[in-house]
């Protein structure tokens, strides 16, 4: 697949183009991906806030982190955030439910799909936290591995209408990562080690998937 050309857009242009997907009476799913520190969570949250709850809701992939006790049992706790530290099949199943939600015959509370979220203050996923109503036209999802072509990730990708790959300058991405790790309690030295170690290995894998995105964006 030919990698899309890099597009430079303002945040307001991203809002406007996301709004075009929020067609009342139809269900669309928009995904944001990119390497750690690319700004996926921030941009996805801003898009949903700009469109408002009647048009959009956010369903982050991070809600499918495996619990820390599971990662410890698997020997993967020290590389949390790698593609095999997520419940990819669970995420794919949720995307399929969300894709088909408006066409089900369920009504009332039974028609609501509940998604998990990731509590950064606990470093753990919290189940059934995010209600998704069938009348909401645009579902925004974000995560590192939306374009990975192995395991259950392609099944999730089939449910997503468009995936936009965020590609900031490398220096910007690195600085964001270090500040994020420091904000959650790491020393500057440990934050740098994590950003250049586990995060960087994940980044190289994720960046190799950019050619599968509909668009590659750099925000102005």
- Quick check: is 23 in a domain? yes
pLDDT tens column, 92-136: 999 999 999 998 999 999 999 999 999 988 989 999 999 999 999
Evaluate whether 106 touches 97 at the Cβ level (below 8 Å): no
Host H or E run for residue 163: strand 162-166
Side-chain half-sphere CA neighbours of 47 within 13 A: 32
Q: Is position 160 within any domain?
A: yes
Looking at the domain assignment, is residue 1 inside a domain?
Answer: no
Tell me whether residue 80 is in a domain.
yes
CATH of the domain at 31: 3.40.50.300
pLDDT in tens, 186-205: 787 766 766 666 778 888 99
- Here the tokens at position 87 are 């419940």
Instruction: State yes or no: pLDDT of 69 exceeds 80.
Output: yes
The pTM assigned to this predicted structure is: 0.92
The residues, ordered by sequence, that sit 6+ positions from 113 with a Cβ below 8 Å of its Cβ are 94, 97, 98, 101, 131, 132
The pLDDT of residue 78 is above 70: yes
Specify which residues 59 forms β-bridges with: 141
Total tally of structural domains belonging to the chain: 1
Asked if residue 171 belongs to a domain, the reply is: yes
Containing domain of residue 109, as a range? 6-219
SS3 57: strand
pLDDT at 195: 63
For position 196, what pLDDT does the model report? 66
């Amino acid at each position: 697949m030919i990698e899309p050309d890099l597009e430079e857009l303002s945040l307001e242009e991203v809002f406007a183009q996301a709004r075009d997907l929020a067609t009342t009476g139809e269900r669309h799913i928009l995904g944001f991906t990119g390497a750690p520190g690319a700004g996926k969570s921030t941009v996805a949250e801003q898009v949903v806030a700009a469109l408002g709850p009647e048009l959009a809701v956010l369903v982050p992939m991070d809600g499918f982190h495996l619990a820390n006790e599971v990662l410890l049992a698997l020997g993967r706790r020290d590389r949390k955030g790698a593609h095999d530290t997520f419940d990819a099949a669970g995420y794919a199943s949720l995307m399929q439910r969300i894709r088909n939600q408006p066409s089900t015959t369920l009504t009332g509370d039974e028609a609501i799909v509940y998604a998990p979220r990731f509590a950064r203050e606990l470093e753990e996923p919290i189940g059934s936290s995010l209600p998704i109503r069938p009348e909401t036209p645009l579902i925004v999802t974000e995560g590192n591995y939306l374009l990975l072509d192995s395991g259950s990730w392609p099944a999730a990708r089939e449910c997503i209408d468009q995936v936009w790959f965020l590609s900031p300058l490398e220096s910007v991405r690195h600085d964001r990562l270090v500040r994020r790790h420091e904000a959650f309690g790491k020393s500057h030295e440990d934050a740098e080690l994590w950003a250049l170690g586990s995060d960087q290995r994940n980044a190289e894998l994720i960046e190799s998937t950019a050619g599968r995105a509909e668009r590659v964006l750099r925000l102005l």
